[in-house]
Amino acid sequence: MSENNKEKVLAMAAGHEITQGELDNLIANYPPEQQIYLSDPKAKDEVLDQLIAFHLFARMAEEEKIRETEAYQTMIEKMKVELASHMAATSVVEHITVSPQEERAFYEENKAQFVQGAKVSARHILVDTMEQARQAAEEIAGGKAFADAAREYSTCPSKDRGGDLGYFTRGQMVPEFEKAAFEAEIGKVVGPVQTQFGYHLILVEDKKERAEVSFEQVQGQIHDQLIQSRQQKAYSEKVEELKKKYGVEKKI
C-alpha cells in the first residue's frame, strides 16, 4: 500500500484523525484466520467503529483526569511488574534453538512415532432392516451406481456425498464395520453387515497399507516438539534456581 493510502483519513473522533494506516495496523494484530474475515468491507467498518470508540473513551479519560487517580497508578504499577516478570521469563527460553541435525536424530530414534496406520477409503449405505439392505444390494448388482443407491436409501448423513466416508483407520469405526471394510476387496460390495446402527452395504474404493512417514513430512512437528520440550525444561530449571536464590515458603 502506498504512503498516500496509509495517510487517508477514514474518520475523525474527538479531534483525532483515524487513518487507513492506523486501521491496517490494528487489523494486523489479529490472528491470521480473523484477518481473512476482516478483508470484508463490512467487517473492516466494524473495526473502524472500535477505533472510533477507543479514541472517544481516550478523550473522556483525559477530561476526567483518570491518569491522575490512585486506581490508575496502582494498575500501571501492577502492569509494570507483570511485564517485567514476563520479559524475564521470556529471556530464559527465547535463545533456545534446535538444529536440523538434532531434528533428524530425534526422528531416527523415534521412528515408531511416525508411522501412518493402514487405512481404507469406502462408501456405505445404512438402512434399518435386512430387507432394505438386500433390496439396495440387488439394485446395485443390476447396474445402479452405489452412490446413487446411497443417496436414495441410506439414513446416514453421508448419503449427501453418495455414502462417501473418506479414509479411515482402525479404531475409528465400530468393530463389525471395520472388520468387513478392511477385509473387503477393492470395488466389491460387501454386506449386509449388521452393527448397532443398522445394516450396512460397504464399497471399499481404495486401501493404503501401514507406512512410515518421511522425515520431511514431520520435520516441522518435530521442531516444535523439541523447542517446546527444551523451553519447558529450561523454564523449570530456572524456577528451581530462583527458589533457592530468593526463597519460597508456601503457606498452604
Do 101 and 140 have their domain in common?
no
Mean pLDDT to the nearest integer, 210-235: 93
The domain in which residue 206 lies consists of: 115-211
Number of domains in the chain: 3
- Asked if 203 contacts 149 with a C-beta cutoff of 8 angstroms, the reply is no
- Respond yes or no on whether the N-terminal peptide bond of residue 100 is cis (omega within 30° of 0): no
| pTM of the entire predicted model | 0.57
**pLDDT tens for each residue of 91-144:** 999 999 999 999 999 999 998 888 888 889 999 999 999 999 999 999 999 999
Do 119 and 205 have their domain in common?
yes
**pLDDT tens for each residue of 49-72:** 999 999 999 999 999 999 999 999
Q: Is the pLDDT of residue 185 over 70?
A: yes
Do 119 and 203 have their domain in common?
yes
Closest to 190 (Cα-Cα) out of 251, 115, 133, 107: 133
Return all residues near 210 (Cβ < 8 A) that are at least 6 apart.
Answer: 115, 116, 117, 118
CB count within 10 Å of CB 205 equals 15
Give domain status of residue 249, yes or no.
Answer: no
Do 188 and 136 have their domain in common?
yes
Give domain status of residue 251, yes or no.
Answer: no
